[in-house]
Amino acid sequence: MLHKIESWPEYKLAAALTVALRVFYSLVAAVLAFMVHPDPAAVHSNMLTENLPAPGTLYYAFLGIWERFDTLWYLRIAQAGYDHQRAVIFYPLYPTVIRLFSWDMPATAAALLISTVAAFFSLCGLLRLGRDSLSSMGRLRTLLLFCAWPGSFMLFAGYAESLTLALIVWSVVFARGGHWGFATACGFAAGLSRPSGVLVVVPLAVLALRSASLRSTIVLLTPAGLAGYWGWLRWSGRMSVVESYRHQGVSFAPPWMGVADAVRHISIDHDAFLAIKLGLVVLFAALSLRREVRIEDKIFAVAVIVQVFLYTGHPLFAATRYLLLVYPAFFVLGAYATRRLSWPRFSFYFAASGFLNLVWMGAFLDWRMVI
């Protein structure tokens, strides 16, 4: 059976996993909707929680349970635009698409639909990127490890993660195929999706230099998406992204200060969860710098990891979610699992990682953890 699945076309494997995970996460969330009892103080310490849907209904079980943290901001922007200074840290592409799709369905349903479709393109793009370096079994195991990664459920939540990842991986896929216009368009859109999306300009620039093609210079327009959004904020008299973060107690500093901040919190507060996140970041950095990783992928992975350490005040905030963008590390893990692990041993690690993913999903839905 596994050999048959390994031979499936990329789109079929990605579609099967996407549908299975969408159904699985929706059912798990629906069950948890009747089991979790969030602390009202924790809920209302967040903004935009005044009119949350009431628990105990089918709407809440299948849609309202996903209205957590950043999702509320994306829904607010889709409905009312940037009418609050804190909203500017949420980039415009995802809420714009939500607004387009919510004309005949609830906005939350539109957000989850967009994330699910983007998750399909993310998985399909990862398979395409791994086509040359991984065997059929290696690509399958890479995809399974990626889907079980703690925090990967966020790809199916009302967040911009899957949209950003899809745009990044397909930008690299198009660039490797010499389709510079499509690569630049995806990179441009990625910069409008999340600030980390603009980092795709790094591998695109490396690939463009290697191609020595005049047409490839169009990739220099990739950062225009992010720059355009920042310019619009300034032109419209709104607070800048940096200023908004500062008002929330988050400041930017050199990455080595971010590392020191994380270590200090671990040593003083004995924060075990923060220590785990720091260990995972170090692991991904080591995996991404291995010899077999392409140079453009190494530089991109380093850029994403450096960005994780730029925030002080909330060290390694949402680091496990940001690591989903570090696709080279997943390729290395998939290749290692193919060489060294039998299917029973692989299944053990897959189940353990998947269990942590569900634990973190439960904490997220219970308003106890920002992933």
CA pair distance 309, 161, nearest whole angstrom: 18
Give the pLDDT of residue 190. Answer: 98
| Of 253, 264, 261, nearest in space to 307 by CA | 253
Residues of the chain with pLDDT under 50: none
Give the pLDDT of residue 133. Answer: 87
| Of 94, 297, 66, 127, nearest in space to 203 by CA | 297
Alpha carbon 368 to its chain centroid, in Å, reads 20
The number of CA neighbours under 13 Å toward the Cβ of 10 is 16
| Of 324, 368, 276, nearest in space to 126 by CA | 324
Which residue in this structure is represented by tokens 């041993």?
Answer: 345
**What is the per-residue DSSP string for 192-245?**
TT-GGGGGGHHHHHHHHHHHT-GGGGGGGGTTHHHHHHHHHHHHTTPPPHHHHH
Sign of the dihedral through C-alpha 69, 75, 77, 80: negative
Q: What angle do CA 199, 331, 266 make, to 5 degrees?
A: 70
Q: Which helix (H) or strand (E) holds 252?
A: strand 251-252
CA pair distance 141, 5, nearest whole angstrom: 11
Give the pLDDT of residue 369. Answer: 85
Give the pLDDT of residue 278. Answer: 93
> Are 124 and 14 in contact, with CB atoms under 8 Å apart?
yes
Structure tokens at 231: 């310019």
Give the pLDDT of residue 297. Answer: 97
Q: Would you give the end-to-end CA distance of the chain in angstroms?
A: 35
CA pair distance 216, 184, nearest whole angstrom: 9
Alpha carbon 99 to its chain centroid, in Å, reads 21
Q: 3-class SS at 130?
A: coil
Give the pLDDT of residue 2. Answer: 66
Give the pLDDT of residue 1. Answer: 66
CA pair distance 146, 20, nearest whole angstrom: 14
Task: Note the helical H segments in the chain.
Answer: 2-6, 10-32, 40-44, 58-62, 70-80, 93-101, 107-129, 136-148, 161-176, 180-191, 201-211, 224-235, 241-247, 255-269, 272-288, 295-308, 319-322, 327-340, 343-365
Cα–Cα distances in Å, from 53 out to 79, 192, 194, 363?
A: 16, 29, 27, 19
Q: What is the pLDDT of residues 115-160, one digit of tens each?
A: 999 999 999 999 999 998 899 999 999 999 999 999 999 999 999 9
pTM over 0.75: yes
